[in-house]
Amino acid sequence: MALYYFDVDDNGTFYPDDEGTDCDTFDRVKEEAIRALVEMIKDSLPDGDRHKLVIKVRDDGGDLVLKASLNFEVEAEHRSYGGSSPDSHV
């Protein structure tokens, strides 16, 4: 087991992890980061057309070992529907 620190950058707001999590393998570190990104973005969206959520994982020595990020982006097309489209309920 080794301690890893999962620092979060949520749209530019930095949340440092000062407690660390024990993970036995690097695959566990990766899974934890990915699942956390999915859980957290679910809480944030919808909150606008852009959202960037990043998790950077440090090991006990302070070295960066993993960076996982989600980039959310919405782009409106020119011929956007006015709400009467038959597809609007899909």
Partner 1 sequence: MDLHFETTKNALLRLCDPADLDRLRPHLRDTFLELRTPLEKAGNRIEFVYFPCSGLASVVAKMRGGDAEVGIIGFEGMTGSALVMGDDRATHDCFIQIPGEAMVIDASRFKAALDTSDTLRPLLMRYVHAFHIQATYTALINARCKIEERLARWLLMCDDRVDGNRIDITHEYLSVMLGVRRPGVTVALQVLEGRSLIHSRRGEVIIRDREGLIDLAKGGYGEPEAEYRRLVGEIAVQPQIVAQREPTR
**Under the rule (CB under 8 A), what is the footprint of partner 1?**
6, 8, 10, 15, 17-19, 21-22, 32-33, 35-36, 39-40, 43, 55
Token pair for 54: 């990043």
Cα(37)–Cα(72) distance, integer angstroms? 12
Task: Residue 54: name the closest of 15, 4, 2, 3 by CA.
Answer: 15
Measured from the CB of residue 49, what is the shortest distance to partner 1 in angstroms? 21
Q: Please say which residue, 11 or 85, places its beta carbon nearer to partner 1.
A: 11
Q: Please say which residue, 18 or 75, places its beta carbon nearer to partner 1.
A: 18
